[in-house]
Amino acid sequence: MVSQPILLFDGDCGFCGRTIEIARRVIQPRVRFIPWQYADLATLGVTEDRADREVLWISPVGGTVYGGPRALSAMLMSGRKRWRWLGIVLRMPPFNWMAGGVYQVVARNRHRLPGGTITCSLPAHMRREPDTHI
């Protein structure tokens, strides 16, 4: 059980890391940002596959997990007052449908966005360093 909200993101992705830094500075959400590669995913009730596909919000209330645009909505709603309205709007039709589509396009193309690298487009198991023990 987590004591405060957690936002899991891809710590190997330059675009994701840069976006998190901007969110910390501008939105100032009340959340712990943790690269999923350093989180105890089993304890959080999240699979590596899901964490690699989308940003995840883990709520301290019941451990509820929201992914993608719903996670971003939760982050906005936990931030400075001027951002909360956007988080609420992102949960309502038709905006939630549009947010889902935009999120998928960004997620599939994050390696092409500012800060992104080819590493961002690789599945997690292909990003890891090979075992070089002698």
Residue 93: HSE in the Cβ half-sphere, 13 Å Cα cutoff:
0
**Residue 35 contacts residue 9 (beta carbons within 8 Å):** yes
Gap between the Cα atoms of 72 and 87, Å rounded: 7
Q: Which of 94-98, 124-128, 129-133 has the highest mean pLDDT?
A: 94-98
pLDDT digits (tens, 9 = 90+) for 26-84: 999 999 999 999 999 999 999 999 999 999 999 998 889 999 999 999 999 999 999 99
Q: Which of 6, 3, 25, 9 lies closest to 68 in space, CA to CA?
A: 9
State the pLDDT confidence band at 131, using cuts at 50, 70 and 90.
Answer: very low
pTM for this predicted structure: 0.84
The partner residues of 35 in beta bridges, in order of sequence, read 9
pLDDT digits (tens, 9 = 90+) for 71-119: 999 999 999 999 999 999 999 999 999 999 999 999 888 888 877 666 6
Gap between the Cα atoms of 9 and 61, Å rounded: 20
